[in-house]
A = this chain, B = another copy of it.
């Protein structure tokens, strides 16, 4: 039996045919378009599904369901994308539309970070745990919160926006309209800004050499410089890890998961990142002497987490 997972991104819509053990046996992809009343995203998702089935040669009867991960505010109960800004959409009835094409299959949709969290919790770094928070540090900060093995979405699927906790009142302007949201500090976007600021303040820093080698300032620039002994780079990294920790410890104090899994490009820093985060977590979480401990680790499914997690929605 197979489960189809669809991971919608700003550039492409990726699909995978998954088995019950979370393996992907076949993949398909199409480009993401601009959607409107005449051309809905459901049409592109249908193309991915149909290609996936045709390519793999499985029988439709072997498919047990279709799960979709999509950026933005998703009403998972109604199967509707309430609001998405990168792929501009308001109240798009994705599941009801797909139901017309696949009337006999369970079809589910959820936020993409929720899906990736579910994938990591069930089949990635969180395998075997029940209370997991997945945090993806990318353009923004996304979160997938799993309580007792189930996705926690907040009332009407409109919560779990951990990236939009303010950690610095009156701080950086966030595009959600508040100042000081965690994502403005802990996202890769935030790290790049912090790196650029430090480069402008430290003309002799190795970060200039590294950025020139790489052709741009990226989320890796400060980490590479720090590892080569550059003090300005080290200072960017130290501050950035502190920023991450503030949000992680807030999450710890509210949810106290067994495990917090960090995803996104920055997670490739591995233990260089998590060793310090674990120290801060252990030192500063509420009542750490008396309360159950919390471990911070990095994601293990990479880019497949979204597909596998979407498939988990219908497993």
Contact = CB atoms under 8 A, between A and B. Distances in A.
A249 interface: yes
B286 A176 contact: yes
13 contacts: A82-B287, A154-B255, A156-B292, A158-B287, A158-B292, A159-B253, A159-B256, A165-B250, A166-B249, A176-B287, A177-B283, A177-B284, A180-B246
A42 B167 CA distance: 40
A35 interface: no
Contacts of A83: 287, 289-290
Interface residues of A, number: 43
A291 B156 contact: yes
Given A169-B246, A176-B286, A291 B82 contact: yes
Contacts of A165: 165, 250, 253-254
A155 interface: yes
Contacts of A249: 166, 178
A168 B165 CA distance: 11
A161 interface: yes
Interface in A240-299: 242-243, 246, 249-250, 252-258, 283-284, 286-287, 289-292
Interface of A: 73, 82-83, 90, 131, 154-156, 158-162, 164-169, 176-178, 180, 242-243, 246, 249-250, 252-258, 283-284, 286-287, 289-292
A160 B253 CA distance: 6
Given A131-B155, A176-B286, A178-B284, A164 B253 contact: yes
A164 B253 CA distance: 7
A284 B165 CA distance: 11
A176 to B, nearest CB: 5
Contacts of A131: 155
A64 B289 CA distance: 36
Contact of A258 (B73, B155, B160): B155
